[in-house]
Structure formats: structure tokens, C-alpha cells
Copies of this chain bind each other. A is one copy, B any other.
Amino acid sequence: MEQDTKSLIIDIATSLFQLKGYMGVGLTEIIKTCNISKGSFYHHFPNGKEELLIACLQSISDAITGDIKDFFERYPTAEEATKKMIEKLVDNFEREGTIAAYTFTSIVSEMGALSESVRNTCSALYIRMQEIYSAKLEADGFSKEAAASTALMMTATIEGGIILCLTQKVSDPLKIMSHELPKLLKKI
């Protein structure tokens, strides 16, 4: 089955941004990898590279929240779901040397100060993630407020853990998170 040009561009660009960051990848490299011309590219993205970036961020965002939802539906408690989810991140990192969620962290760090729409897109993803965590924690018996605070802690800790793994090129940080985080997820 043939993929249409627009989604081809999004897929290729997403993985290139993941590898080298937004500014680290030129349009020329993107269209070369896609085997298309500049004319074709600007037909699909009249507002250029930043429009493409937003499309990529939305595509990754859907993939990530889809993944998270799967885990939080499959396992009975937030604690178990979180453990399994982090195990998958570790697995991914050890096999491919990268983590999809990291692209977000990376790009909001790089572009958040320069582009409001990029910052908003990234902000929306963090909120979507927290909402999934929070709902499960409430189902586990947490109060609304406690669930929200804890969901925020989870998001921050996992994001931070991913950064440490990528920076130090080892998977230990996330592994340690996976047995430290549950301490916060037990209802007291």
C-alpha cells in the first residue's frame, strides 16, 4: 500500500527531528530523504518547516498518548501500569538508543522559547498524559487533588529520567525510577 506524500514527509521528518533536533535538520535533508522536490514539499506545507514540525508533534503526541492509554487500561493499578510503561521505555532505549517521548522534551527545549505554537502543542501533550495518570489514580482511590499532584510528579520524574538516560547514555536512571516511583503511587 502506497503512502501519500504528506504523511511520508511527516514520518521521515519525525524520525530525523528525533535524531538531530529541529534546527539540526535542514529542509534539504528532509526532501532528499523523502526523494521529493522543494516544490512538492511547499505544496503540502505552505507555511514551511514550522508547519511541518507542528504536524510531527501532533503525530507523536497521538502515538504517545495511545501507548499510555493502552498500559493504563490493561493493568489494574496506576502503580503496575507505570512500572510496565517504564520497562517499555527502557527496552526501547536499549534497543534503539532513543525514546519517542524524548523528541518532545527535546523540541520544546529547543523551540519553546522561540515559537508559541510549538510551546502550546508540547504543553498540550504533557496535560494529556497527566490526565490519563490522574484518572487512574482517582480510580485507585486518591482524592482529586492528590491524584493531580501525583500525576504531575509522575510526568516530571519520567521526563527527567528520560533526559538523564539520553544524556548519560545508560538506562540505569529509568530503571531506578521504575522502582522508586511506586513509593509515590501507594495510597496512604
Contact = CB atoms under 8 A, between A and B. Distances in A.
Contact of A150 (B108, B159, B180): B180
Nearest to A24: B114
A176 B157 contact: no
Contact of A23 (B23, B105, B152, B180): B23
A20 B113 contact: yes
Interface string A132-170: 000000000000000001101101111111011011110
B153 A24 contact: no
A23, A109, A176, A177 pick with most chain B CB within 10 angstroms: A109
B163 A108 contact: yes
A66 B126 CA distance: 31
A32 interface: no
Task: Report copies per complex.
Answer: 2
Contact of A21 (B110, B122, B161): B110
B168 A160 contact: no
Nearest to A188: B183
A149 B176 contact: yes
Shortest 10 CB-CB contacts between residues of A and residues of B: A156-B160, A160-B160, A23-B23, A159-B160, A106-B109, A109-B109, A110-B110, A156-B161, A157-B157, A153-B180
